[in-house]
Amino acid sequence: MTWDFSTEPEFEKKLEWMRTFVKEEVYPLEVLDADEAGFRRVIRSLQDEVKSQKLWATHLPPELGGQGYGQVKLGLMHEIEGATMWAPIVFGNQAPDSGNSEVLAHFGTQAQKDRWLYPLLDGRLRSAFSMTEPFTAGSDPTLLSSTARLEGDEWVINGHKWFTSNGMIADFLIAMLVTEPDAGPYERASMIIVPSDAPGLKRLRNIPTMAGESERFGYGHAEILYENVRVPAANLLGKRGQGFLIAQARLGPGRIHHCMRWLGLARRAFDMLCERALQREAFGKKLASHETVQNWIADSAAEMSAARLMTLHAAWVIDTQGAAAARKEISLIKFFGAKVLHDVIDRALQIHGSLGYSGDLPLEDMYRLARGARFYDGPDEVHRVSVARQILSGYKEPQGKWPGEHIPTRREAAQRKFAALLEAATTDV
Ligand SMILES: Cc1cc2nc3c(=O)[nH]c(=O)nc-3n(C[C@H](O)[C@H](O)[C@H](O)COP(=O)(O)OP(=O)(O)OC[C@H]3O[C@@H](n4cnc5c(N)ncnc54)[C@H](O)[C@@H]3O)c2cc1C
């Protein structure tokens, strides 16, 4: 029997340390009034503490300075980090740097690792991932239109990207570009490293979004023009036309991390929901004694528990069978987890009334962040379609005109199957 829901005691101790550290040291960053230099000094001192606990950049294998924990353990860590937007930065595995470092670790040449990966892991460089475009549907990246053409020993890049997270502050970008226009839809694109000081790279702006104020110090989602940007041919990641293959390797585990982080955030909102239920009184009794509120608490607990088990299961499939084997599980949690996140925050906001709607509590900020979860890294609809297709591929159309479970047809078959025995019974009587 191999089912096991326990956490190794040694690892549980690390998680316990993280819970206390995140709550006591990282939560205050959300409300700290500091200039960027001061803020960075505080972050750096917290990062040093994380490094001394050997919990820095744990998504990477040991040969690259990570702990090589695998997705289940990483998931449990991300659950704790997700409660506040600053924790992933303090732990060295924030998106998009974590995904980019995985790509560099797995597909980069030694020279690319020396130039980009190790400084990124050290926190000396920052990165961005530049795929989505304003004028083609990001949910169908076979439509990408930005191009890179090889001229001598340089790529010449032209295109228009947006929602490149941290694009304004990144030292380099990994751009997804069409290099093989005549190839099949999934072999047309490649990933290319673009230094942010490459001539022709125009970082236009951080796009104003629903997230608003929480995007401080240049963090945010950039609109970028690539106008005859030239980078060395050696900046290609992997082989020509491997962009989709690399993107799949990058996005699978990344979605587990997202979903676990959402659970951490949902849990924080849920705690607020329960506390307020015990604090506030209306119509002669505490809100906690009203049946609707009890339903919210029970529904939220059930939904978070379901999402957590589904996400850890998807992580376990990746750990034991690889990311490709977990495609269905990853799609399931991506749309289900986003809904759970939204619904739990929504109930927590509702129970706080106007206080929940105000900027005096973090709920309105969480609510706005939660909205994006329904489409970044693939909209709900696309993941649902993917899940349904995979499930349907395991079924066959029933033979005949009636459904397989049609009772009169089954009764007839059952009569035939047991006819001899039924006959014998009649004779016995
Ligand atoms: C906070 C945030 C951070 C992001 N960070 C990055 C980043 O770092 N790098 C990057 O490259 N991109 C990033 N993105 C962009 C994100 O990945 C895209 O928004 C996403 O892929 C969807 O693409 P789109 O916006 O072009 O929407 P579209 O592809 O135009 O889709 C719009 C809508 O069409 C509907 N739709 C699409 N396909 C189907 C279907 N098959 N069936 C039914 N309905 C469908 C869905 O409702 C979908 O929401 C980020 C976005 C956000 C919000």
> pLDDT for 33-71, tens place per residue?
999 899 989 999 999 999 999 999 888 877 776 777 889
Q: How far apart are CA 300 and CA 217, in angstroms?
A: 34
- Cα(367) to ligand 1 centroid in Å equals 18
Question: Residues lining ligand 1, judged by CB closer than 6 Å?
Answer: 96, 129-132, 137-139, 163-165, 221, 372, 375-377, 379, 381-382, 385
pLDDT digits (tens, 9 = 90+) for 389-411: 999 999 999 999 999 999 999 99
- Residue nearest (by alpha carbon) to ligand 1 atom 48: 379
Q: How far apart are CA 140 and CA 153, in angstroms?
A: 31
Mean pLDDT of the chain: 94
Domain 244-392 has CATH 1.20.140.10: yes
Q: Which of 257, 375, 385, 387 to mutate for ligand 1's pocket (most ligand atoms within 8 Å of CB)?
A: 375
Strand positions, DSSP E, 183-317: 189-195, 201-206, 221-232, 236-237, 281-282, 285-286
Residue 428's pLDDT band, with cuts at 50, 70 and 90, is: low
Q: Is the pLDDT of residue 1 over 80?
A: no
pLDDT digits (tens, 9 = 90+) for 263-303: 999 999 999 999 999 999 999 999 999 999 999 999 999 99
- Cα(168) to ligand 1 centroid in Å equals 20
* Of residues 335 and 36, more confidently modeled: 335
Q: Is the pLDDT of residue 240 over 70?
A: yes
Amino acid at 313: H
pLDDT digits (tens, 9 = 90+) for 150-194: 999 999 999 999 999 999 999 999 999 999 999 999 999 999 999
Domain boundaries, the chain: 9-108, 127-237, 244-392, 403-429
Q: How far apart are CA 123 and CA 44, in angstroms?
A: 9
Pick the atom of ligand 1 nearest to 378's CA: 21
Lowest mean pLDDT among 214-218, 247-251, 332-336: 214-218
- Residue nearest (by alpha carbon) to ligand 1 atom 24: 138
Pick the atom of ligand 1 nearest to 161's CA: 11
Give the list of residues 6+ apart from residue 152 with CB closer than 8 angstroms, or none: 233
What percent of the chain is modeled with pLDDT above 70?
Answer: 98
Q: Which CATH number fits domain 127-237: 2.40.110.10, 2.60.120.260, 1.10.1200.10, 3.40.50.300?
A: 2.40.110.10
Q: Which of 371, 376, 384, 385 to mutate for ligand 1's pocket (most ligand atoms within 8 Å of CB)?
A: 376
Inter-residue contact 341 to 370 (CB < 8 Å): yes
Pick the atom of ligand 1 nearest to 131's CA: 11
Q: How far apart are CA 420 and CA 428, in angstroms?
A: 12
Q: Is the pLDDT of residue 243 over 90?
A: yes
> What number does CATH give the domain 9-108?
1.10.540.10
- Helix then strand then coil, % of the chain, to nearest 5: 55, 15, 30
Q: Which pTM value belongs to this model?
A: 0.92
Q: How far apart are CA 372 and CA 113, in angstroms?
A: 32
Residue 214's pLDDT band, with cuts at 50, 70 and 90, is: low
Locate 221 and state its tokens: 């989602």
Q: Is the pLDDT of residue 9 over 60?
A: yes
SS3 state of residue 378? coil
Counting beta carbons within 10 angstroms of the beta carbon of residue 193, is it exposed (0 to 12), middle (13 to 18) or buried (19 or more)?
buried
- Residue nearest (by alpha carbon) to ligand 1 atom 26: 138
